[in-house]
A and B are shown apart, each in its own frame.
Chain A
Amino acid sequence: MNFFFEVLIGGLLSGVMYALVALGFVMIYKASGVFNFAQGAMVYLAALSVVGCMEKGAPLWLAVILAFAIMTLFGIATEKFVLRKLVNQPPIALFMATIGLAFFIEGLAPMIFGSEPRALDVGIVDEPIEYILENFNMVISRFDLVAALVASVLVATLALFFQYTRIGRALRAVADDHQAALSIGIPLQNIWAIVWGVAGFVALVAGMMWGARNGVQFALTFTALKALPVLILGGFTSVPGAIVGGLIIGASEKLAEIYIPPVMQNLFGGNFGGIEGWFPYVLALLFLLVRPEGLFGEKHIDRV
């Protein structure tokens, strides 16, 4: 039973890491109704900017500020050069633009900062907490706990931002209908620039946590793959949904990886491990059949 809880807690903490990436998707989707294919690439760019600035001699705090500036400029440039021409176009046009953006970032970022995998030390050692290990014989990572704390603060801040600020309300209005938002005087360009900037900040936090955990390298773009089932489960428009979706996906994939293969092996022989790559997607697909808008997503009703 001890092992079960160890796997469960480990999974929940991993889920928080997925939620960090999923939050970036939610930001853009909430404000523009577009699935941002470039979010994984933005995570990579943000983390690479931090290590790139540190290699030029900047201390960590300054590198983070500079990386945030880079991500903000990137957000503004995206609005100006990519999105502005696509106002009121079908969402698929915006989606295609983000695909192009992803490839552009994936090519440009290593050209500027180099493609070598690098370490990112944020000062938190990824080791088990000794007290829990000694008293409960369970491995709980100090780093994962900090990541969970960071994600919680981020979620709370973003939820409050969307719910209670003027900009937050404007963002939601823009997401509903570009043209209607423009007609009542909401400055669409500014709103998009802000939301891409905030998504850049979320990418920076996710990039730093993932980069500190696995190294800063091209594979950070793959973190987006972990976020997709989280979004399907939690809903594309819900900030708390990203967290809850992350926790469910993280815990279920870890439990599945441990407990399903031995059962399958007994039944059919062979090796059935390594299922956590596809298991979350199957779970998300099953969930889609029951609740297509996700746990916390807004139900879309078209009147006939």
Chain B
Amino acid sequence: MIKTCKPVLAAATLAIAMLSQNALAAEEQFFPMTSYRVGPYGANGQSFYGGFIDYLNYVNLTEKGVNGVTLTYEECETEYNNAKGVECYERLKGKAAKSAGPIHTMSTGISYALIDKSAQDKLPLAMMGYGRTDAVDGSVFPYAFPLVTTYQMQASAIVKFIKEKMGGNLAGKKIVYLYHDSAYGKEAIIALEAEASLNKFQLVQIPVAHPGNEQGAQWLKIRQEKPDFVVFWGWGVMNQTALKAAQKVGFPRDKMIGSWWTGSEEDVVPAGESAKGYMAATWNVAGKNVPLIADIEKTVYGAGKGNLSDKAKIGTILYNRGVSAAVLSVEAIRKGQEKYGKGKALNGEQTRWALENLNITEDRLKQIGATDLLPEIKTSCDNHEGSGKVKIQQWDGDKWVPVSGWIEGNKALIHPLFQASAKQYAKEKGITPRDCSKEK
């Protein structure tokens, strides 16, 4: 009897195994990753995507995924190149058709190239601290999310910080805006002009041609202008060159405040002593003293599943930024599962809804060990940014030290600028904006 049943039992076991495998495969939440680890900005990508993947693995190891849904990913190397970014997106979107977490390109250029495509393919695009900032208005950009904060809100927050430093009054003061002469550098101008008009300070704009490895003339001009502060929007080699050039003309580094693209270890370490005292905005803090970061190192690297070959990057500003981006993305998956079914993977459309209904409170951040790692986030149809807060950090020659609490930009001043720009975009593209009052 047993002999005759043996093949049947074996077949049944095999079928069950296959079925359960299929079932498991269905419970995977896929993250398409258009990442970069080589090329001119490879070092930045290594830290960011390393942190992102480490957090996905951390959730898989500690919770067996989100309500049993394993978090998976596939990387495609863009080399921070727009054409390759689009190619990677096209390659990954087929796999993302079934289940998709938000796509993080870490590139304004690639984000711009994908903004229409991703909306057509119903795949949400996260642009945390970069990308098209008027996408804050979700009525026009349903699939694009400039989460946490934008260039303009950041610039506004920096002005607020300077104002505090100057005793609460900026009237008659002079601020130089030194910027990378590109779309990225020009983004903040509209906000700074609005702030200058509101606070009655003089704004002097000084552009630097790409790549910015020569800034002699600009810094001589700054020396001549004698500003109270320099607000600095650099990128890549422009950052170290600016710090060195500031030293060369004797401009104090603690009167320089950069954007978050100028505030990583990679930006200051190569500048050596000249970077000491320099300040930069950030939407996430550095260091391993955040419980979550310490626990990731212990759990993920302890299990031999760490993504970084160089563990020294753990706790750096960009690594922690990658973790912060992953925290937001995973929280969106949790939120989506509350609506679409616990234990089920979300497709792009469902993830989009979740990103638009995020509510990450201080309590929730505390629960996951991320207190103060990033600010609270609450998104909605007409606010895809969700926070608008940054901290100011200062380089002490060895590490970044926060020198402020979370500072929110002037939302009443800045958000109408986004809405006007989004409205114009909708008009150009023939888009009928959604009625946000009907979105839930």
Contact = CB atoms under 8 A, between A and B. Distances in A.
Interface stretch (B121-129, B141-149, B234-242): B234-242
Interface in A211-231: 213-219, 222-223, 226
A264 to B, nearest CB: 13
Given A115-B38, A119-B271, A126-B244, A271 B220 contact: no
A226 B273 CA distance: 27
A187 interface: no
Contact of A214 (B208, B209, B244): B244
B43 A117 contact: yes
B206 to A, nearest CB: 6
Nearest to A18: B214
Q: Bin the interface of chain B by size.
A: 35 or more
B42 interface: yes
Contact of A274 (B208, B241, B249, B272): B208
Interface stretch (A4-12, A148-156, A198-206): A4-12
Interface stretch (A29-37, A81-89, A275-283): A275-283
B206 A139 contact: no
A127 B246 CA distance: 9
Contacts of A254: 216-217, 220
Contacts of A217: 40, 236-237, 240, 270
Contact of A7 (B207, B208, B220, B241): B220
B40 A219 contact: yes
A225 to B, nearest CB: 8
Interface string A66-96: 0000000000000000000000000000000
B213 interface: yes
Given A127-B247, A128-B249, A273-B206, A258 B220 contact: yes
Contacts of B218: 257
Contacts of A118: 269-270
Contacts of A268: none
Contacts of A7: 217, 220
The B interface is mostly helix, strand or loop, or mixed, namely helix
Contact of B237 (A141, A219, A273): A219
A201 to B, nearest CB: 22
Interface in A115-141: 115-119, 121, 125-128, 133, 139, 141
A107 B221 CA distance: 38
B274 interface: yes
Interface residues of A, number: 46
Contacts of B224: 3
B295 interface: no
18 contacts: A14-B216, A110-B42, A115-B39, A117-B270, A118-B269, A118-B270, A139-B220, A139-B248, A139-B250, A214-B244, A214-B270, A215-B271, A219-B236, A226-B213, A254-B216, A273-B206, A277-B210, A278-B209
Interface of A: 3, 6-7, 10-11, 13-14, 107, 110, 114-119, 121, 125-128, 133, 139, 141, 143, 210, 213-219, 222-223, 226, 253-254, 257-258, 271, 273-278
Given A110-B42, A139-B223, 18 more contacts: A3-B220, A7-B220, A14-B214, A14-B216, A116-B266, A117-B240, A117-B270, A126-B247, A128-B248, A139-B248, A139-B249, A214-B244, A218-B40, A222-B211, A253-B217, A258-B220, A273-B205, A274-B181
Interface of B: 38-43, 46, 181, 205-211, 213-214, 216-218, 220-221, 223-224, 236-237, 240-241, 244, 247-250, 266-267, 269-274
Shortest Cβ-Cβ A-B pairs, 7 listed: A215-B270, A277-B209, A219-B237, A274-B207, A274-B181, A257-B217, A218-B40
